[in-house]
Structure 1
């Protein structure tokens, strides 16, 4: 798919009809990354994607990296003030899944320039790029007038999505 085709898919996921949505907000703390992973895994299972394996694990990895980046780089308030990170899933069954992670920072995400081989960080967007079919970032403004950004990762749905039987 071309970049313009992904922009079309992204527009569908953001505002289109027939989109299934699920969203949560988590505290902007390192411990909340686990909560984000749990939410995504449970929602994907609810939408009948496999509980683990290829597609699900790739989506969970991308969310983990994007939420970690939001926690580490997207805070705009002092550490002792409450701040949230938004996580939204948008599913166009049989077509695409979009993951939107939003924070209050206006700074665009920047991929690290070749982190050292033994560096413990700096590969988050590189990992997102490796597992997602497409990703992008855009400024946002919420209903309370808070500005920030949203980072989207888009995944083409596997053929078997929604067709898996539920175990009793």
Structure 2
């Protein structure tokens, strides 16, 4: 048995303890439903109860980003990846990250609200209205595709008021 003195790095703790959930899901409507349901269950287990404004807002952001990954970022045979990070601190921001494998189609919200007879075009408007910050970038590690993220401050938000104007 030999020791390896070159490997003396000490493990580091994150600055703020946080809960993490991540999963790769099929790029189908079923994958979107599953992403929302699994993240909603995790939020509840982490102390953000069903029916609370923070829970409903975060779950809706997961659903919208996942639906966009399936609708606009789908490459046949490739999955999308969802990651949810919620710091233990009660007023810290929750972060949702959704990764797909289609990097040439970048997310851009519609410049104005779509007409009442249209059934699409509201997803990123909802994300922009509900998230405190959101954006996108290339996938980490040089992998093909992009990552779209949203952060939601867990303070008093009234998601129903935002949704009422849409």
TM range (shorter): 0.7 to 0.9
TM-score normalised by L of structure 1: 0.76
1:99-118 matches, within 5 Å, as 99-106=96-103, 107-114=105-112, 115-118=114-117
Query: What is the distance in 1 between the residues matched to 2:65 and 2:24?
Result: 14
The change in CA–CA distance for 1:130 and 1:83 in structure 2 (over 3 A counts) is: same
Query: What is the distance in 1 between the residues matched to 2:124 and 2:66?
Result: 11
The yes-or-no answer on 1:149 pairing with 2:146 is: yes
Secondary structure of the equivalent of 1:55?
helix
**Cα RMSD (Å):** 1.8
Higher Rg of the two aligned structures: 2
1:56 matched residue in structure 2: 55
Q: Is the 8 A contact 1:132 1:154 kept in 2?
A: yes
Query: What is the distance in 1 between the residues matched to 2:47 and 2:94?
Result: 13
2:43 matched residue in structure 1: 44
Q: Which runs of 5+ in 1 are unaligned?
A: 1-14, 160-168
1:35 matched residue in structure 2: 34
Quick one: higher RCO (CA 8 Å, sep 6+), 1 or 2?
1
Q: Select 1:83's aligned residue among 78, 89, 94.
A: 78
Q: Is the 8 A contact 1:93 1:157 kept in 2?
A: no
Q: Structure 1 residue 141: deviation in Å?
A: 3.5
Q: Which runs of 5+ in 2 are unaligned?
A: 1-13, 157-166
The runs of 4+ residues in structure 1 deviating greater than 4 Å are: none
Secondary structure of the equivalent of 1:147?
coil
Secondary structure of the equivalent of 2:66?
helix
Corresponding residue pairs, total: 139
Query: What is the distance in 1 between the residues matched to 2:81 and 2:101?
Result: 10
